[in-house]
DNA sequence: CTGAAAGCGCTAACAG
DNA sequence: CTGTTAGCGCTTTCAG
């Protein structure tokens, strides 16, 4: 890229954009300095609100920057100050509904801290996660918020080396690297199973995602199986899917399960969306909910409020997870001597119309 | 919600690391250079696959980098090379379903170009958009993809100054700054209205979002009104909402409209989600769809496939919009002499079960 | 094929 | 309150 160096003609300091500046070149602090007749350092101070600057110089600088349309170069700033106000957020998906809500919580908290979230998406692939993490870390962010506790060995090594706060979110069934905020999905599955059994259901089937990388859904399933076992029960059937419209898949899987097992009396879905599909299927085919079958999902999606019958579900505390994670990063960023913090959140079981609360 | 904070007692995470290096400092090219006995410059070449390097040195460097766990510093790299492989993507919301799909299209194309998307969310606020844009530009990205054609004056100025390709997406009813990819929402509204009228409906009501910043929904409404006017018709009623569960709001608004106007025969929703809510309401209250009322939404969401009756809708070409926009940025990035490009996409009207296709 | 020198644009750390 | 001096960690450029 060809750059033109502008020799400063110390005589004229007009506020209007000096002619002769290569229009391809992007403005620098120096341009603002020359236009305002204030040293680069002071310009820098004004633009960052750092240190005391007299109101008059301040005004001049601001005016010059505004007129020129100067936008600071954070690449240079970051290199010089050795600090970058970025927080890497690494999540499996954006289409899952859950993660945008987590993002909302994160943004909300970060907004007033000078920190800025940057999202990376892994599509539930550990290798992709590794790549995304590497890319993120190469920007030297102030912290990382990453979904889940399961990561490849190189990913762990990178995070350990990075020397920044790491917050693993959504899950606490496992050993966090540093800090963590989440719920126990294992326990969530158990708790739902217990409530289902306590409500008198006995023939329970599971419907969920196929995704190998969705450890949390798997933990919920394990928790449920464990609880059923203790109650002397077993899952009657299970059905998995991947890809496609979740609502539609919910219908299809429900049809399949019900066709195979006409006597099933409860369907546990690994997420609310397929649960909603199942509910719609039941309504359409005249299967009484909850008279004939009870239904439960997971996540406590707002969407459920619009459904004709309320599924049982469990709130995964999504926004709160985001908030707490962001608070940890922001706190550690402000006081580097703070230690790791593990926060367990407790989801509330929403019985909907199918579960009898004890 | 009761939360417990567990202070982790293991503040002593041991990290094996080469002795003598300050553990707080992050690794530099120089560390790799020393560990491998190769000059920094050559190390840099190896790590970037630039220029010819003998296989043997190459091996040594790679090995050293791997063992140390070196992660390049893109801040420094970007400053030195005056190029940053980032593409800023500025969208109104992540919870809208539409934008994650656009992102998918963008990521897909960018994946093989060495460029990386960075998302910023404006919440449909022009001021917020301005801020987000400023932040983005301060990272000196290789391009900007931004939703909509309406921006504040300062935002326009910043983009004009930036000297990078700008692609405005989703909408082409207006004057693009540089490049643009999208559909005509005005025409989409008109087209839907024409189809509705052609199907014999006469008493049409509109249900949509309140959001002042949602220019595209407004354009669709205007297009619809225009088409109705030409057919000698007028909207019978309209209802707006903001916030809350879209599905639920769809139900409520539908109830309100139907209560006020028992003879309405068609409901046009500004998006599929509230349309789905309306559909569920009709089903629950025994209102025959499409016998009594016809329904149409907008977006062509996958979700609709799972509904008991198919609304009419219109595909906004979301993924394609993302792909094309990314292609333009990638192309301009590779060949800087390429000019602006405006791509109009044509949404297909999906008649669903309520519209008679001509 | 490899290396040395000279910055990229900004800010930390000191003087005044 | 304001200015000067050194870099930050990398890549460009130009010599070997």
pLDDT of B19 higher than 80: no
* Residues of B in Cβ contact (< 8 Å) with A116: 135
Say which of A71, A75, A283 has its CB closest to residue B84.
A75
Q: Do the beta carbons of residue A199 and residue A355 sit within 8 Å? A: yes
Q: Cα–Cα distance between A128 and A105 in angstroms, integer?
A: 24
pLDDT class for A21, splitting at 50, 70, 90?
Answer: very low
Q: What angle do CA B189, B193, B194 make, to 5 degrees?
A: 120
pLDDT class for A2, splitting at 50, 70, 90?
Answer: very low
pLDDT of res. A264? 95
Neighbours of A304 (CB within 10 A): 24
- Residue B250 contacts A where some CB pair is shorter than 8 Å: yes
Which chain A residue shows the shortest CA-CA distance from B158? A69
Rg (CA), chain B: 27
Q: Using the C1' atom of nucleotide D6, identify the protein residue whose alpha carbon is closest.
A: A80
Say which of B83, B250, B280 has its CB closest to residue A308.
B280
Cα atoms in the Cβ-side hemisphere of radius 13 Å centred on A185: 24
pLDDT digits (tens, 9 = 90+) for B141-163: 999 999 999 999 999 999 999 99
Task: Taking the CA atoms of B269, B315, B319 and A129 in sequence, report the sign of the dihedral they define.
Answer: positive
Q: Helix, strand or coil for residue B171?
A: strand
Neighbours of A261 (CB within 10 A): 13
pLDDT digits (tens, 9 = 90+) for B323-336: 999 999 999 999 98
Strand D nucleotides in reach of protein CB atoms, 7 A cut-off: 1-13
pLDDT digits (tens, 9 = 90+) for A76-90: 999 999 999 999 999
Q: Left (φ > 0), alpha (ψ -120 to 50) or beta: where does B280 sit?
A: alpha
- Mean predicted confidence (pLDDT) in B32-44: 93
Residue from A213, A219, A240, A220 nearest A124 by CA:
A213
- Mean predicted confidence (pLDDT) in B23-36: 86
Which H/E stretch holds residue B283?
Answer: helix B272-284
* Residues of A in Cβ contact (< 8 Å) with B29: none
Q: Helix, strand or coil for residue B353?
A: coil
Phi, psi of A180 (to 5 degrees): -155, 150
pLDDT class for B23, splitting at 50, 70, 90?
Answer: low
pLDDT of A3 higher than 50: no
pLDDT of res. A86? 96
Q: Could you give the percent of chain B with pLDDT greater than 90?
A: 80
- Mean predicted confidence (pLDDT) in B302-314: 91
Calculate the angstrom distance between C1' of D11 and CA of A26.
19
pLDDT of res. B158? 95
pLDDT class for B304, splitting at 50, 70, 90?
Answer: confident
- pLDDT top residue among A123 and B358: A123
Calculate the angstrom distance between C1' of D14 and CA of A175.
53
pLDDT of B15 higher than 70: no
Q: Which two tokens stand for residue A21?
A: 């500046």
The overall average pLDDT reported for chain B is 89
Q: What pairing do the DSSP bridges indicate for beta strands A166-171 and A179-183? A: parallel
- pLDDT top residue among A5 and B135: B135
pLDDT of A8 higher than 60: no
Which H/E stretch holds residue B180?
Answer: strand B179-183
pLDDT digits (tens, 9 = 90+) for A241-278: 988 888 999 999 999 999 999 999 999 999 999 999 99
pLDDT of res. A24? 63
* B290 upstream amide cis, omega within 30 of 0: yes
Say which of B6, B95, B302 has its CB closest to residue A100.
B95
pLDDT of B16 higher than 70: no
pLDDT class for A356, splitting at 50, 70, 90?
Answer: confident
Calculate the angstrom distance between C1' of C4 and CA of B136.
35
The single-letter DSSP state of residue A228 is H
Strands (E), B251-298: 266-269, 294-296
- Residue B286 contacts A where some CB pair is shorter than 8 Å: no
Alpha-carbon A124 to chain mean position: 13
Q: Cα–Cα distance between B155 and A253 in angstroms, integer?
A: 49
Residue B306 and residue A116: Cβ atoms within 8 Å? no
pLDDT of B18 higher than 60: no
- pLDDT top residue among A15 and B332: B332
Q: Helix, strand or coil for residue B215?
A: helix
The overall average pLDDT reported for chain A is 90
pLDDT of res. B213? 82
pLDDT digits (tens, 9 = 90+) for A99-113: 999 999 999 999 989
Q: Which two tokens stand for residue B135?
A: 């932040």
pLDDT of res. B226? 96
The answer for residues whose C-beta is within 8 angstroms of residue A333's C-beta and 6 or more apart is A113, A115, A142, A143, A165
* Residues of A in Cβ contact (< 8 Å) with B17: 161
CA distance, residue A236 to nearest chain B CA (Å): 25
What percentage of chain B's residues is helix, strand, coil (to nearest 5)? 45, 15, 40
pLDDT of res. B24? 62
Q: Which of residues 21-80 of A touch B (CB under 8 A)?
A: 23-27, 69, 71-76, 78-79
- Mean predicted confidence (pLDDT) in B152-181: 96
pLDDT digits (tens, 9 = 90+) for A318-336: 999 999 999 999 999 999 8
Q: Do the beta carbons of residue B275 and residue B255 sit within 8 Å? A: no
pLDDT class for A236, splitting at 50, 70, 90?
Answer: very high
pLDDT of A13 higher than 50: no
Q: Cα–Cα distance between A55 and A62 in angstroms, integer?
A: 10
- Residue A344 contacts B where some CB pair is shorter than 8 Å: yes
Residue from A92, A171, A99, A148 nearest A318 by CA:
A99
pLDDT of A227 higher than 90: yes
Residue from A185, A223, A196, A217 nearest A347 by CA:
A185
Which of B9, B18, B71 has the most A C-beta neighbours within 10 Å, making it the best mutation to test the interface with A? B71
Q: Cα–Cα distance between B47 and B61 in angstroms, integer?
A: 8
pLDDT of res. A237? 95
Q: Do the beta carbons of residue B81 and residue A79 sit within 8 Å? A: no
pLDDT digits (tens, 9 = 90+) for A27-51: 999 999 999 999 999 999 999 998 8
For chain B, domains (ranges, CATH) are: 185-315 (3.40.50.2300)
Residue A305 and residue B135: Cβ atoms within 8 Å? no
Strands (E), chain A: 86-91, 116-121, 143-147, 166-171, 179-183, 204-209, 237-241, 266-269, 294-296, 313-314, 342-345, 349-350
The answer for residues whose C-beta is within 8 angstroms of residue A116's C-beta and 6 or more apart is A85, A86, A87, A110, B135
Residue from B204, B188, B186 nearest B196 by CA:
B204
- Mean predicted confidence (pLDDT) in A107-121: 93
Say which of A302, A307, A344 has its CB closest to residue B4.
A344
pLDDT of res. A357? 61
Q: Helix, strand or coil for residue B218?
A: helix
- Mean predicted confidence (pLDDT) in B72-94: 95
């Amino acid at each position: 890229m060809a750059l033109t160096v502008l020799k400063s003609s110390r005589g004229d300091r007009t506020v209007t954009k000096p002619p002769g500046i290569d229009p391809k070149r992007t403005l620098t602090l120096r341009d603002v300095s020359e236009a305002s007749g204030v040293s680069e350092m002071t310009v820098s101070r004004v633009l960052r609100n750092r240190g005391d600057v007299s109101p008059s110089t301040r005004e001049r600088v601001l005016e010059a920057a505004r007129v020129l349309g100067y936008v600071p170069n954070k690449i240079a700033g970051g290199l010089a100050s050795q600090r970058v106000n970025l927080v890497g957020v690494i999540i499996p998906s954006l289409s899952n509904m859950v993660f945008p809500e987590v993002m909302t919580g994160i943004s909300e908290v970060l907004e007033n801290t000078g920190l800025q979230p940057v999202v990376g998406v892994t599509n539930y692939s550990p290798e992709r996660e590794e790549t995304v993490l590497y890319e993120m870390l190469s920007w030297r962010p102030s912290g990382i918020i990453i979904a889940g506790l399961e990561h490849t060995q190189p990913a762990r090594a990178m995070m350990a080396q990075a020397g920044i706060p790491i917050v693993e979110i959504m899950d606490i069934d496992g050993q966090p690297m540093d800090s963590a905020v989440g719920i126990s999905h294992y326990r969530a599955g158990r708790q739902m199973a217990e409530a289902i059994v306590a409500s008198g259901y006995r023939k329970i089937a599971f419907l969920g995602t196929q995704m190998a990388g969705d450890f949390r859904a798997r933990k919920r399933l394990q928790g449920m199986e464990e609880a059923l076992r203790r109650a002397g029960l077993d899952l009657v059937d299970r059905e998995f899917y991947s890809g496609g419209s979740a609502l539609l898949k919910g219908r299809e899987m429900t049809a399949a399960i019900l066709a195979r097992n006409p006597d099933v009396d409860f369907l546990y879905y690994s997420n609310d969306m397929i649960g909603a599909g199942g509910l719609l299927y039941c309504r359409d085919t005249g299967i009484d909910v909850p008279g004939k079958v009870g239904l439960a999902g997971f996540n406590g999606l707002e969407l459920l409020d619009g459904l004709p019958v309320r599924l049982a579900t469990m709130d995964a505390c999504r926004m709160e997870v985001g908030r707490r994670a962001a608070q940890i990063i922001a706190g550690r960023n402000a006081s580097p001597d703070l230690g790791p913090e593990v926060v367990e959140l407790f989801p509330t079981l929403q019985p909907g119309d199918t579960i009898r609360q004890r």
